[in-house]
Amino acid sequence: MSLSASNFLFQLRPRLGGKLCRIYAYDANHTDPVTGHMRIDVEVYHGPECIFRVGDTYCAVNRWTAIDSDAAKALVLSLVAMKPGDTDSDYFEHYTPEQLAFAEAYGDELTMIRYHRFGEDS
């Protein structure tokens, strides 16, 4: 996928473990033909280290939710907060050891940041 300024949706910048975490969201320009869900590709840096590169992980908003809305931002935070035990173990089978370590170390903290910023219903 070729990223450009036109693909950029938003950036989230929580502080985790004393380091700035930068979460970038990009419009993947893909809409599921059956459900109408629009794909958001996600890139995550913790300090200088890239944890998830574009294409490693993504989420999708439904067709009646703006792709750059607060609901989409909450969804991206939920995606990045996923850790083993939150869903089926096979979800994490393609995670690198660094991605698993990040998820286990910061998943709960990211969930609380999402609740604080967007509310429990997000």
Show the domain range for 89. Answer: 8-116
- 43 vs 52: CA distance, rounded Å: 5
Domain assignment present for 1: no
Q: Is residue 35 part of a domain?
A: yes
- Report yes or no on 122 lying in a domain: no
Q: How many CB atoms lie within 10 A of CB 3?
A: 15
- The pLDDT value recorded for residue 1 is 44
Percent residues over pLDDT 90 in the chain: 91
Q: In total, how many domains does the chain have? A: 1
Residue with tokens 């300024």: 5
Answer whether residue 87 is part of any domain.
Answer: yes
| pLDDT for the residue 116 | 94
pLDDT of residue 6: 76
Give the DSSP letter string of the chain: ----TTTEEEEE--EETTEEEEEEEEEEEEE-TTT-PEEEEEEEEETTEEEEEEEEEEEEE-TTS-TTSHHHHHHHHHHHH--TTSS-GGGGTT--HHHHHHHHHHHHHHHHHHHHHH-TT-
Confidence (pLDDT) at 122: 52
Residue 3 in any domain: the answer is no
